[in-house]
Structure 1
Amino acid sequence: MKKKIIAGAIALGLIPFAGATDVSAKSLSNQEKNLKPMGWSCDAPYVACQPFSEGTGKVSFNYQGSSPGKIRVFVANDGSQSFKFTLYYPNGNVLLSTTTLDAGKTFIQEFSINQKGDYLLKYDSGTGDSVDGFFRAVEI
């Protein structure tokens, strides 16, 4: 019985022949450097997903999901200096009060929300220097 299983595995290529090379250490031509970690990819359906890089600015996103609903917010500081950010409801009230995010850190938090419309994230380096950040919001 063992001979039939092994012979079948060899026929299907599941067991390589002796001396066969399965891997190569050659570098690939035209390699591209991935600038953002895989976790910051915008390939999935997000409510918002974008980088930001000015000293002061805002990122808005339109939430049209269920009400009441839930979102998860990610803010990453990919730069070398801290910045502050605040998250606002569509009616202008504060959803998340001013929070400082140090260089190299990531903020992740879930929020229960009861309003549809344009939410706003405002950020500020405090010095006018550009920041290197990333914002993503997803409905849960």
Structure 2
Amino acid sequence: MRDETSHDAIKRVAAEILISAMERLEISQRAIVFAAVALETPMSALTRQFKMTEDQVREEIEEGLQVLRTAEGVEDLAGIRRLGDLINFFDHIHRLNLERWFCHRCGNLQVPKPTGRPRITCSNECRYRMNRDRRLGETPPEPF
């Protein structure tokens, strides 16, 4: 039986190393890499959201991963398979300054528009549900 406390501590340290490494990436590349690797967003969704070809998305991901591979301390993470669950990933969204890139209700990827008011939801459905929950005083599901 493994010690869960030490396992959690290792995951926290590993997450800190990866977050500091990801901060070296440009914000859109950070969003692509995070969505593709951490959230396992399908390639079709990435190409649609970022309005890029599949080859362009793959290139962005590979360039981002190359930066991460060369970051200090990352080589020590070789034996770690998965750092956390979805809740932890949504916490990392905050720490990586990617809140505008993900829906505040469901957590789906959304690419922010360069102009205008920033969207906080990915669709009218999420916006309606978020407003309904707020109006009824219910606690909405909190993706992050």
* TM-score for both structures, normalised by structure 2: 0.20
Q: Which has the higher strand share?
A: 1
Larger radius of gyration: 1
User: Which of 1 and 2 has higher RCO (CA within 8 Å, sep 6+)?
Assistant: 1
